[in-house]
Amino acid sequence: MSGAKSRLSNILNDKEREIFAFSMLEDVIRSLKSSSLDEIVILATSPDGITEITAPYGVEYLVDERDLNSAINSILMDEVDPVMIVMSDLPLLTGSVIDEMLGFEEEVVIAPGMGGGTNILLLRSPSRFRVDYYGNSLQDHISIARERGLSLRIYYSFLAAVDMDEESDLIELLIHGDGKASSYLRSLGFYVNGASGRVRLKREV
Amino acid sequence: MSGAKSRLSNILNDKEREIFAFSMLEDVIRSLKSSSLDEIVILATSPDGITEITAPYGVEYLVDERDLNSAINSILMDEVDPVMIVMSDLPLLTGSVIDEMLGFEEEVVIAPGMGGGTNILLLRSPSRFRVDYYGNSLQDHISIARERGLSLRIYYSFLAAVDMDEESDLIELLIHGDGKASSYLRSLGFYVNGASGRVRLKREV
């Protein structure tokens, strides 16, 4: 996970960002394992460090060095069973959120991320869809579903929406998190502080 | 609503912030009216402009010039029926979110806001509680419930969490909103734009 989470580089160094990214992945794996999903595969751009995280949970992984869209679309193309695509930077995610999404009947169910992203995407007919991540991917995915005549639901979930891209996201994790990623941030000295207005992110020196 | 939303003063002038605040109040009233709540009372620090917003919806209002905590606590003290306290800057709120909260059985149900706030607070026994808004009010309200031996649920809702305090919040409103407040922002020339990473807020000149 080198180069992970570059927008956090002003508050976390390279090594910290890498450990943070792996901690989030582990939190996500735990939430998926506690859901009713019956097969979990981690998609990674490099095998470095992945086995150590996935093996204890009995989870498989695939390595694909291409960009996210190419890697995912090549899988979707031949897939006949429903697929749920879950981003790995969702440390607040719970199995209940996943199960609630699985309960909907639409062909495409999207859990938006903050700022117009797509954090979870459930596809009942994967081969009829193609993903287009980056930027305002929520709008892009809505358009793709409509173009292809697929029924669509936007599933609004706070715990699925809060991805870890920016400093303010770490505040949400520190307030609400109780997994590996929030513990790691606390171990680095981060805490929230604020007497008026919204709280601010602080780090002990 | 003079002085409303001062943290948006770098992108909206005084008059725009006032109209924006009233637009959000109207969106909130519409969501409450579409829920199963049987009585709605708007609490305002001044009567200016309130009748024009509330009258068309047949909603009452109370004027109390004191700070929010004093005003609310003086109401809670004598209240025997359940009370739900809903902030007025939640333009994405829906009646379904309110009804889902009303379905829980805990004595205190809190829908957190971004950054540690309390956006909706449902109190089954209002006289046993006191509110403490501002700052990290979520943590304060959790502590108050625990001190008083009241059962508690944190209800995570994206649509209830996104309050309009900062520039990035307007982005969520522009992406997901379809009421008065989002229409007003669009009428001022605001739009979202972004090819990579999260989208950014833009305004036509």
Tens-of-pLDDT digits for all 205 residues of chain B?
556 678 899 999 999 999 999 999 999 999 999 999 999 999 999 999 999 999 999 999 999 999 999 999 999 999 999 999 999 999 999 999 999 999 999 999 999 999 999 999 999 999 999 999 987 899 999 999 999 999 999 999 999 999 999 888 999 999 999 999 999 999 999 998 875 556 677 777 6
- pLDDT for the residue A135: 78
Q: Which domain does A180 fall in, by range? A: 6-191
Please list every residue in chain A whose beta carbon sits closer than 8 Å to the beta carbon of residue B112.
Answer: 158, 175-176
Confirm whether A151 is domain-assigned.
Answer: yes
Please list every residue in chain A whose beta carbon sits closer than 8 Å to the beta carbon of residue B177.
Answer: none
- pLDDT tier at A3, thresholds 50, 70, 90: low
Output the CA torsion sign for B70, B140, A168, A139: negative
- pLDDT for the residue A205: 65
- pLDDT for the residue B134: 83
pLDDT digits (tens, 9 = 90+) for A147-201: 999 999 999 999 999 999 988 899 999 999 999 999 999 999 999 887 555 667 7
Take residue A78 and report the two structure tokens written for it.
């031949």
All residues at 6 or more sequence positions from A94 whose CB lies less than 8 Å from its CB, including other chains: A31, A34, A159
In degrees rounded to 5, what are phi and psi of residue A96?
-65, -40
How many contacts, defined by CB atoms under 8 Å, are there between A and B?
A: 93
d(C-alpha A90, C-alpha A83), whole Å? 18
- pLDDT for the residue A195: 57
Confirm whether B1 is domain-assigned.
Answer: no
- Whether residues A135 and B195 touch (CB distance < 8 A) is answered with yes
How near does any CA of chain B get to the CA of A200, in Å?
A: 8
Best B114, B164, B172, B201 member to test A by mutation, with max A CBs in 10 Å, is B114
Confirm whether A119 is domain-assigned.
Answer: yes
Confirm whether A197 is domain-assigned.
Answer: no
The ipTM of this complex is 0.91
- pLDDT for the residue B196: 52
Confirm whether B52 is domain-assigned.
Answer: yes
In CATH, what number is assigned to the domain containing residue A125?
3.90.550.10
Any idea what DSSP says for residue B150? Answer: -
Contact indicator for A194, A200 with CB cutoff of 8 Å: yes
Confirm whether B175 is domain-assigned.
Answer: yes
- pLDDT tier at A102, thresholds 50, 70, 90: very high
- For residue A161, give the nearest of B139, B158, B195 by CB distance: B158
Confirm whether B36 is domain-assigned.
Answer: yes
pLDDT digits (tens, 9 = 90+) for A181-192: 999 999 999 998
d(C-alpha A38, C-alpha A17), whole Å? 30
- pLDDT tier at A2, thresholds 50, 70, 90: low
SS3 B10: coil
- For residue B135, give the nearest of A158, A176, A199 by CB distance: A199
- pLDDT for the residue A200: 76
Take residue A92 and report the two structure tokens written for it.
């607040």
Percent share of chain A, pLDDT over 70: 95
Please list every residue in chain B whose beta carbon sits closer than 8 Å to the beta carbon of residue A172.
Answer: 114-115
In degrees rounded to 5, what are phi and psi of residue A14?
-55, -50
- pLDDT for the residue B201: 78
Please list every residue in chain A whose beta carbon sits closer than 8 Å to the beta carbon of residue B116.
Answer: 171, 175, 192, 194, 198-199
- pLDDT tier at A6, thresholds 50, 70, 90: confident
Burial code of B155-167, b = ≥16 C-beta within 10 A, e = fewer?
Answer: bbbbbbbbbbbbe
d(C-alpha B63, C-alpha B44), whole Å? 5
CA distances from A201 to A80, A186, A194, B135 (A): 45, 11, 9, 13
Please list every residue in chain B whose beta carbon sits closer than 8 Å to the beta carbon of residue A197.
Answer: 7, 134-135, 165
Q: Crossing angle for the helix pair A167-176 and A180-187, nearest 10 degrees?
A: 110
Contact indicator for B199, B174 with CB cutoff of 8 Å: no
Closest CA to A97 of A147, A159, A14, A52: A159
Burial code of B53-74, b = ≥16 C-beta within 10 A, e = fewer?
Answer: bbeeeebeeeeeeeebeebbbe
d(C-alpha B7, C-alpha A64), whole Å? 44
**How many distinct structural domains can be found in chain B?**
1
- Whether residues B134 and A197 touch (CB distance < 8 A) is answered with yes
Residue A42 forms beta bridges with which residues? A61
- For residue A117, give the nearest of B114, B165, B198 by CB distance: B198
- Whether residues B114 and A157 touch (CB distance < 8 A) is answered with no
- pLDDT tier at A1, thresholds 50, 70, 90: low
Confirm whether A202 is domain-assigned.
Answer: no
- For residue A116, give the nearest of B139, B157, B175 by CB distance: B175
Percent share of chain A, pLDDT over 90: 86
Other residues' Cβ atoms within 10 Å of the Cβ of residue A55: 11
How near does any CA of chain B get to the CA of A80, in Å?
A: 31
All residues at 6 or more sequence positions from A138 whose CB lies less than 8 Å from its CB, including other chains: A110, A112, A113, A116, A117, A118, A154, B175
- pLDDT for the residue B161: 98
- Whether residues B197 and A161 touch (CB distance < 8 A) is answered with no
How near does any CA of chain B get to the CA of A197, in Å?
A: 5
